[in-house]
Amino acid sequence: MSDTPRAAHQDAMLKRLARIEGQIRGLQAMIRRDEDCEAIAQQFAAARKALDKAYQELLACLLEEAVLDPNQDSSATLSRVRNIFTKYT
């Protein structure tokens, strides 16, 4: 990847997803070891929160692209932003 802002965002997102993947693998291991349900629930909550945060970052990227698109007038931009919120939240 190059040193563009987009490449930096992609790299950060991939790292975030790799951490989440590790959390999920940890959850699988906890279940296989028959660990305490509350401990598993706590790890589930952490993984869900991490995934929600990654998703919020992606939505922010979508919104930035919509708002910063020089080829759209403000009415089209607002329509696109509304569509993003309606479709993805």
List the single range of 2-6, 46-50, 66-70 with lowest mean pLDDT.
2-6
For 67-80, what is the mean pLDDT?
A: 83
Q: By the 8 A CB rule, do 47 and 27 touch?
A: yes
Q: Any idea where the domains of the chain sit in the sequence? A: 5-88
User: Tell me, what DSSP letter sits at residue 37?
Assistant: H
Per-residue model confidence (pLDDT) at position 1: 46
Say what the pTM is. 0.75
Task: Specify the residue for token string 């706590």.
Answer: 42
Under the banding of pLDDT at 50, 70 and 90, the label for residue 17 is very high
Residue 80 has pLDDT above 90, yes or no: no
Average pLDDT over the chain, rounded to an integer: 89
- Report how far Cα 53 is from the mean position of its chain's Cα atoms: 5
Q: What is the pLDDT of residues 40-64, one digit of tens each?
A: 999 999 999 999 999 998 888 888 8
Take residue 22 and report the two structure tokens written for it.
């590790």
Q: What is the CATH number that goes with domain 5-88?
A: 1.20.58.1000
**Percent of the chain scored above 70 by pLDDT?**
97
Q: By the 8 A CB rule, do 80 and 72 touch?
A: yes
